[in-house]
Amino acid sequence: MDAKLDNISNLGIYVHIPFCHTKCTYCDFNTYTGIENSINDFSQALYQEIEFWSITNSNYIVNSIFIGGGTPSYIDQRIINNIIEHIKGNFNLHNKSEITIEINPEDVTHHKALLWEKSGINRSSIGIQSLDDKELKIINRRHNANTAINSLKTLQSIFDNCSVDIIYGLPNQSINSYTNTLNKLIDEQPDHFSSYSLQVERGTLLEKQVTNKNLEVAGDELSATMYEKTMKVLKENGYEQYEISNWSLKGKRSLHNMKYWKLDPYIGIGPGAHSYINNKRFSIVKSPKRYIDFFGQKQNKKSINEKIEYLNNNGMLDLYENQTKKNHIIEYLMLRLRLSDGISKKEFSEYFGIDFDNSYYNKIKKYIENEILIKNSDRYYLSEKGKLFANEVAESFVE
């Protein structure tokens, strides 16, 4: 099947594995520790949900799978293999699909990496976060810097597409220690970097530590300096910034994550997983127990919309909304602004039948004058300075 045909839409599948050995202090994802005794029941429910979504007689073809969490690398490889096999059996899978697994450094062995590769995984994403052992300990990461580097090298010996995640603005982190992490990782030449600003999320242990003044995280000025350093150092070393928080070597952009930013369709499998398909945005309930109880029984529905309605009517969706044209426009603009390619006036007009300049130029004029936004014949995109003001510019579209 040719994914370039006009009547074919590429589809992404995200699989959420909610299990972790320990929980990082900053994490607000739908993850759990100490419930390993439910892994077998959970995996069976996961296979059943994949079968529930089965889309083989349609114009969708899967060209990206992302197994995230949580810690997918923590669970038995047989489950990972079965997940991929169930997807292959229930969807049209492109023969050049990008299949990614998120990995914690302490889980990596050469044997496990070979098994992941054998199952069809062709891209690894390793959560290193920092190469400073004191910083890692503060945020409750289980690995140290030496383990992280060795694990990355092991993955690179198996996969030809390896991504690393790092965080700036960590407690007690300095510009020097962060730059040291960057430079040491660049020496290893991973194919892709994701660098995120630390966020103090409500309900996390980090929030409690900061509120009680037990820890202090980087302020806006220091975080901005670290972000500017990231852009500068990665650019100097041949990495292209294609999104606010993502850099890659040539040809190594994350195909799956691009779906989120371009509002392409994707289905989320697992508790708390989000989906966007048929102009509907929804997410499965977060509770692993409720998830297992529901999907532990075989569920059969016909069309995609019938399946979504069925989940909603049975109380299995935490979020459910039909995409209105107004919301679609706002999401399109805010997400496209994150990409280096920015907003195409031609594409915007073709999508929505609206002239971009007539609708928005006055709202963003000041950002152009202050060289925060760059305007060329067809596109508006953020300057390097402008990337520090991405949220402010995005909010101007909503006003």
pLDDT average, residue stretch 20-43: 82
Six token digits for residue 56:
């083989």
Inter-residue contact 319 to 276 (CB < 8 Å): no
How many helices (DSSP H) and strands (DSSP E) are in the chain?
15, 15
Inter-residue contact 66 to 267 (CB < 8 Å): no
**Contacts of 39-43 spanning 24+ positions with Cβ under 8 A:** 39/75, 39/76, 39/79, 41/292, 41/296, 42/18, 42/288, 42/291, 42/292, 43/75, 43/79, 43/82, 43/83
Q: What average pLDDT is seen over the chain? A: 92
Six token digits for residue 320:
């459910």
How does strand 280-284 pair with strand 274-277? Answer: antiparallel
User: Residue 7 pLDDT more than 70?
Assistant: no
* pLDDT value, residue 399: 65
Six token digits for residue 202:
């409500």
The residues with which 46 forms a beta bridge, in sequence order, are none
Nearest to 323 by CA among 280, 283, 354, 352: 280
User: Measured between alpha carbons, how far is 244 from 67 in angstroms, rounded to an integer?
Assistant: 22
Question: Could you report the per-residue pLDDT of 347-357, keeping only the tens digit for each?
Answer: 999 999 999 99
Query: What CATH superfamily classification does 9-260 receive?
Result: Aldolase class I (3.20.20.70)
User: Residue 40 pLDDT more than 60?
Assistant: yes
User: Measured between alpha carbons, how far is 314 from 310 in angstroms, rounded to an integer?
Assistant: 6
User: Measured between alpha carbons, how far is 164 from 36 in angstroms, rounded to an integer?
Assistant: 26
DSSP labels, 93-107: EEEEEEEEEEE-GGG
How does strand 192-197 pair with strand 246-248? Answer: antiparallel
Inter-residue contact 47 to 59 (CB < 8 Å): no
User: Residue 5 pLDDT more than 50?
Assistant: no
DSSP H helices in 119-243: 133-138, 145-158, 175-188, 205-211, 220-236
Worst-scoring range by mean pLDDT, 110-119, 212-221, 372-381? 212-221
Six token digits for residue 4:
């370039």
Domain boundaries, the chain: 9-260, 343-396
Nearest to 342 by CA among 307, 376, 292: 376
Question: Could you report the per-residue pLDDT of 271-300, keeping only the tens digit for each?
Answer: 999 999 999 999 999 999 999 999 977 777
Percent of the chain with pLDDT over 90: 80
Question: Could you report the per-residue pLDDT of 52-75, keeping only the tens digit for each?
Answer: 999 987 789 999 999 998 889 989
Burial 27-51 (b: 16+ CB within 10 A, else e): bebbbbeeeeebbebbbebbbbbbe
Question: Could you report the per-residue pLDDT of 155-170, keeping only the tens digit for each?
Answer: 999 999 999 999 999 9
The residues with which 101 forms a beta bridge, in sequence order, are 67, 124
